[in-house]
Amino acid sequence: MAPKYPIHKDFAFIPSINQRFSRVPIAATNALIRLSRIIQRTTHPGVEVIEHSIPGRINPIRLKLFRPASGTQNKKRPCLVYFHGGAFALTYVGPHLISAAVYADRLDAVVVFVEYTLMSKAAFPAGFNDCYDATVWTYENADILGVDKRRLFVGGDSAGGGLAATVAQKALDENHISICGQLLIYPVIDRSCSTESAKKFRDTPIWTGVSNERMWKKYLENYPDNDAPQYAAAADRKNLSGLPPAYVELAEFDPLHDEGLQYAERLNNAGVKVELFDTKGTIHGYDGIAPKNATSIEAMDRRIAFLKTCINAF
């Protein structure tokens, strides 16, 4: 029997998972992820990683600071503040750390990797506040970190991409820090779950429309329907003008595909410079599953090229 979706063979072996967000399954999944990080090699030649912690509104916010180990140590480097994916509930996986090190190496940059509060501990806005506060802390401590605050980016994948988009929105509204670019990788954007892809892809590998609906229900459990607060979902914002340039990457067989596409189109219509990479034959999280796949390699090259373009604008 022919496969339901023409997914590339490098990703087609991944099963469809309807994730539940109650305490026990999330705790079990996070335990397995942490074990996999111990087993998997996540270091990268030439990049040092420093563990750091800053005050948070609920608990301290843990950070991993990635920076090139060689070269001029007192130079001011660009900085990417990165928020990992995981449906707002799951911890980061090994490929997240590998990618962070690659960004630091290839951009000669500092990467601030944020371990924000997961919604299994506290629902919105706890995680979002951690992400925004970590970005503000990075900006305000740029001299100590060896960071050029003019070249400060935010980025993330999946839920982290949604957090990056809303952090950029709040940064614009608060007018306290300046963001020069946003890296949105198959981002979580629309809490309505009403796009065609969200309704169609109910059984795609890794991430399904069913999981998507459950995630939003849990993430916004403190708020009634249709009464979500500002910065809960990037798509809720009416006026997108003035936001920083954006790179938006999509996976073809992903419930999040259409909301990411629509957000990219809205940014473009608002006068924001957008680079869109609409990958084919891919699933949600494809680059972490098969990093040596040709599309995964091209995606990383495109992300780096976008960030370099923003860096060189100064």
Query: Mean pLDDT in the chain?
Result: 95
User: Residue 170: what pLDDT?
Assistant: 98
pLDDT value at 261 more than 90 = yes
| Segment 177-201, tens digit of pLDDT | 999 999 999 999 999 999 999 999 9
- How do 110-115 and 61-68 pair as beta strands? antiparallel
Q: Is 10 part of the annotated catalytic residue set?
A: no
Q: Is 203 part of the annotated catalytic residue set?
A: no
* DSSP one-letter code for 156: E
- Res. 73 pLDDT band, cuts 50 70 90: low
User: Residue 71: what pLDDT?
Assistant: 64
pLDDT value at 30 more than 50 = yes
User: Residue 3: what pLDDT?
Assistant: 64
pLDDT value at 118 more than 50 = yes
Helices 94-107 and 23-39: crossing angle, nearest 10°?
A: 50
Given 96, 257, 284, 296, which residue is catalytic? 284
Query: How confident is the model over 150-164, as a mean pLDDT?
Result: 98
Q: Is the dihedral of CA 54, 56, 62, 66 positive or negative?
A: negative
The amino acid occupying position 202 is R
Question: Among 49-53, 130-134, 224-228, 238-242, which is the least confidently predicted range?
Answer: 224-228
| Domains of the chain by residue range | 23-311
Task: Measure CA of the first residue to CA of the last residue in the chain; give whole Å.
Answer: 55
40, two tokens: 């998997």
3-state secondary structure of 47: strand
What percent of the chain clears pLDDT 70, i.e. is strictly above it? 98
Query: How confident is the model over 205-221, as a mean pLDDT?
Result: 96
Output helix, strand, coil percentages for the chain, rounded to the nearest 5. Answer: 40, 20, 45
Bigger pLDDT: 43 vs 57: 57
Given 105, 130, 133, 254, which residue is catalytic? 254
Label each residue of 260-280 as H, E or C: HHHHHHHHHHCCCCEEEEECC
Question: Among 144-148, 225-229, 241-245, which is the least confidently predicted range?
Answer: 225-229
Given 99, 120, 158, 197, which residue is catalytic? 158
User: Residue 219: what pLDDT?
Assistant: 95
**Burial track 81-120 (b if 16+ CB lie within 10 A, e otherwise):** bbbbbbbbbbbbbbbbbbbbbbbbbbbbbbbbbbbbbbbb
Q: How far apart are CA 279 and CA 257, in angstroms?
A: 10
Query: How confident is the model over 295-300, as a mean pLDDT?
Result: 98
Q: Is 133 part of the annotated catalytic residue set?
A: no
User: Residue 2: what pLDDT?
Assistant: 46
Query: How confident is the model over 14-27, as a mean pLDDT?
Result: 94
- Res. 43 pLDDT band, cuts 50 70 90: confident
Residue tagged 């992300």 (tokens): 303
DSSP 220-267: TTTS-TT-PPTTS-GGG-S--TTPPPEEEEE-TB-TTHHHHHHHHHHH
Side-by-side strand order, sheet with 110-115 = 47-54, 61-68, 110-115, 77-83, 147-157, 181-185, 246-250, 274-278
- How do 61-68 and 47-54 pair as beta strands? antiparallel
User: Residue 279: what pLDDT?
Assistant: 98
CATH class for domain 23-311? alpha beta
Q: How far apart are CA 303 and CA 103, in angstroms?
A: 9
Which burial class, exposed, middle or buried, applies to 77 when counting CB atoms under 10 A from its CB (0-12, 13-18, 19+)?
A: buried
- Res. 6 pLDDT band, cuts 50 70 90: very high
Q: How far apart are CA 181 and CA 162, in angstroms?
A: 14
pLDDT value at 227 more than 90 = no
Cα 205–chain centre separation: 19
Query: How confident is the model over 63-86, as a mean pLDDT?
Result: 90
